[in-house]
Amino acid sequence: MLVMKAHPVNTTQSGAFRFSPIDDPLWRIEEEGFNLAREHEIESLFAVSNGYVGSRASLAEGSPLSNPATFIAGVYDTNSSAQGDPVPELAVAPDWMRLTLLAGEREFRLEDGGYLWHRRTIDLRHGILWREFDYSAPNGGLIQVRACRLASLADRHVLFQCVQIKAESRVPGIHLRASTESGIEQPDQARLISESCPPLDTGDDAANLLEFCTRSTRIKVAIATAGRLRIDGTVIPPNLERLPGRRIESWEFDIEAGKTYRFDRLVVIYTSRDTEQPTTVAAQHLRRLLRVDADEVIDAHARAWNERWRESDIEIEGDESLQKAVRFACYHLISAANPEDERVSVGARALTGSAYKGHVFWDTELFMLPFYIFTHPPSARALLMYRYHTLPAARRKAQRLGYSGALYAWESTDTGEEVTPGYAVSPDGDIKPILNGVWEHHISADIAYAVWQYWQATGDEGFIQHAGAEILFETARFWASRGLLEDDGCYHIREVIGPDEYHEGVDDNAFTNVMAQWNLECAAEAARLLAERWPDRWQELMHRLELGADEPEIWRDLAQRMYTGFNPETGLFEQFKGYFDLEEIDIAEYGPHAMPLDVILGRERTQLSKIVKQADVVMLLHLFWDRFAPETCEANFRYYETRTTHGSSLSPSIHAAVAARLRDTDTALRYFRQAAEIDLANNMGNAAGGVHAAALGGLWQAVIFGFAGLRLLPDGLGFAPHCPPQLRALRFPLIWRGIRLRVELRPDTMEVAAESGGALTVQIGNGEPARLTPGRRIRWKRGEGVEVWKEVSS
């Protein structure tokens, strides 16, 4: 159960904090001092979010580099002032956390010095961003400031900020200003524009209601805020200033030694995506909240986090930095998704930054979704339902390009329409066309893969019948129209971009073709299943989608004839037709390089070389481990690994997962560390744009599919454990078809316990499958041979 540290001061009388950041260093990510150059990165890493709304961790008082931004999922707009070819992007909502503190004439700013120490901490366990510092006032008095901020996981429309000030001796002339500001429109950002500030009657002087709107998509956003200052528990009325799009409350007071000055700000957000009356609903919600103690908001939020951690925490013994990295990953994944909204998905940088404009890619289905499937199925379902609701846009895209069925957008927003920008300016100043929106088609099969994985792992019959099957059929139809049966009798898919985006417009990309093959087979299987188990639904779908009775057979046939580029003699997949003839470049010769290798080599030379941007054939191994012979996995990993530059953050974790299953735990651990450092050590240099949500999902997969070797069996779960000896133990929970499991993995032992739900089969390595029932725990020991595990107790 959650333990909150009690503050020594009597809370009810003084109003002082009952909370403080968690002590356990394995649950904290900290930034000590202040380094202006790192500010944008810290803003991303320390962001608070709940999948509905996310705020970057900008300093409340600002700094020369602060770029405060709050994003609301689904609130996209087109930035009309952007140059060139603007595409929709997440609009920046007003800065609700702005605070200015003056002592005498001097405004507190970190860059001016004057602070004795300064620390920011994310308390991962409770989902709270803390800030603590001591600051020397102009009269020499020492002011202690403790502040926290959260986006409530218990009540997703609520944001909360709290600041406590104390001093050891009197400090006169304090001026505290709290404002909500729409901010200055910047050329590279879409911002909500202020519409009006209707009155808000809460009986509370410092409550405000502000209405905003997106410029082109006309989404209304209502923000209700209430700031309150208490001195030793007594509420002090503010001075109010109301300007268009801006509200300022301020208080002037002298700090007396030993007294507690506490500022709380509650913020409630609703949009016209949630309700027809966002303003009224936001006001009502705020009124309700003001009736309860503000600490209850923190308590409820911390309880919600506690619940999520019970279902998702991975414990790693033996390496503290990896332990923290994995918790950091889960923290941002939990923060990213909203199970209550099936009309949005998670963007490449979630709600933590503006890189990729909040656009949704295959990142969600193949990198993040497994985390939700096995820890919080309602989140996974909502994300897949987003794909169901955007099927009409995917059908339109297929049709526009002359195909049947559904071709999902490579990049999408809430509408599902294709929003990949038409071009980008490359680091050398060249205008480079972006062709992914036209050619990167594997996303349709990636989504189908996720649908099937979700269905297999959760057994959610309602989903497969009512949404999943339709996605599978429509994507299969797309593949059946996308390729051509050629003279060699094989089905070829020409002119695509595979995951390795360095090579554009290639023919027969192995990843795309194998994924398409699988999509076709799987849709045929879903058709069989529906016809057998839910014949009425099957009839209804056949009728509505005008599915021919022979289509599933055609899908099976095309799948069988799919050209995959696999050569049985070498055991290698050719990444695409002609790849083996390209120039061989020895990556190792370039040593560690700050610039991506494709930039060093130039676009043209890269395209004519075997240099690979990210896991492509290796991604196939990851997704279809059981379909390939162990020698095939080994041969392809070794071949492609040495040619991959990891120019995408999606790559290292997948290499870690595959290397672990190949029992090469040293290589696995090296890639695992590289993946862990993408955000935490900013090792790709672009964390300022937001955390790399797919890489964080990949980190989770490297543990679960890599080190633990999880795989789905028809009636349970299999594990092929390869725990690196450096990690003494791995412990994690999983949910499979409603059954909650706890797994413990050590280099030579394995334990699985079923907490609740029904029975399932568990198989470790090639050992005898065991039947696990609720309340039971089974222990296995590694035997003599590879993958030989013996049950030792239950």
Give me the active site residues, please. 501
Task: Determine how many CB atoms are found less than 10 A away from the CB of residue 20.
Answer: 17
Q: Which is nearer to ligand BGC, 223 or 621 (CB)?
A: 621
Alpha helices in 534-574 (DSSP H): 535-544, 551-561
Partners of 390 in the β-ladder: none
Binding-site member from 39, 211, 365, 501 for ligand BGC (CB under 6 A): 501
Question: Residue 548: which residues within 8 A CB-CB, separation 6 or more?
Answer: none
From 13-21, 170-178, 285-293, 356-364, span contacting ligand BGC (CB under 6 A):
356-364
Minimal distance, residue 355 CB to ligand BGC, in Å:
9
Q: Show the tokens assigned to 356.
A: 């990729």
Pairing status of strand 95-103 against strand 106-107: antiparallel
Q: How far is the CB of 416 from ligand BGC (least distance, A)?
A: 16
Please report whether residue 611 would count as binding ligand BGC according to CB under 6 A: no
Residues of 98-128 as b/e, b for ≥16 C-beta within 10 angstroms? bbbbbbeeeebbbeeebbeebebbbbbbbbb
Burial of 743-760, coded b for 16+ CB within 10 Å and e otherwise, reads: bbbbbebbbbbbeeeeeb
Rule CB under 6 A: is residue 227 a binding residue for ligand BGC? no
Contact between 95 and ligand BGC per CB under 6 A: no
Report the C-alpha dihedral over residues 766, 771, 777, 779, rounded to 10 degrees: -20
Q: In the 8-state DSSP scheme, what is residue 703?
A: I
Smallest separation (angstroms) from ligand BGC to the CB of 80: 25
- What is the nearest approach in angstroms of ligand BGC to the Cβ of residue 436? 8
Q: Is 650 in the site for ligand BGC (CB under 6 A)?
A: yes
User: What are the backbone angles phi and psi of residue 187, rounded to the nearest 5°?
Assistant: -60, -30
Residue 361 binding ligand BGC, by CB under 6 A: yes
Closer Cβ to ligand BGC, 458 or 475, answer by number? 475
Binding region for ligand BGC (CB under 6 A) out of 328-336, 354-362, 600-608, 635-643: 354-362
353 binds ligand BGC (CB under 6 A): no
15, 245, 416, 499: residue in contact with ligand BGC (rule CB under 6 A): 499
Q: State which of residues 465, 614, 674, 763 lies at the interface with ligand BGC (CB under 6 A).
A: 614
Binding of ligand BGC by 648 (CB under 6 A): yes
Question: Residue 349 CB, nearest distance to ligand BGC (Å)?
Answer: 8
Residue in 131, 162, 165 with CA at minimum distance from that of residue 293: 162
Q: Please choose, out of 19-27, 195-203, 361-369, 786-794, the segment that lies near ligand BGC by the rule CB under 6 A.
A: 361-369
CB 363 within 8 A of CB 698: no
Does residue 155 belong to the site contacting ligand BGC (CB under 6 A)? no
362 binds ligand BGC (CB under 6 A): yes
H helices within 494-550, ranges in order? 510-533, 535-544
Looking at beta carbons only, is 527 or 621 nearer to ligand BGC?
Answer: 621
Amino acid at 770: A
Examine residue 356 and tell whether it contacts ligand BGC (CB under 6 A): yes
Residue closer to ligand BGC, measured from CB, 362 or 705: 362
Contact 446, 650 (CB under 8 A): no
Count of residues of this chain found to bind ligand BGC when the rule CB under 6 A is applied: 12
Q: Which bin fits 15, alpha (ψ -120 to 50), beta or left (φ > 0)?
A: left
Which is closer to ligand BGC, CB of 661 or CB of 692? Answer: 692
Site for ligand BGC in 679-708 (CB under 6 A): 694
CB closer to ligand BGC out of 150 and 394:
394
| C-beta closer to ligand BGC: residue 379 or 614 | 614
First to last CA, the chain: 27
Instruction: Give the Cα separation of 48 and 269 in Å (integer).
Output: 15
Which positions touch ligand BGC (CB under 6 A)?
348, 356, 361-363, 499, 501, 613-614, 648, 650, 694
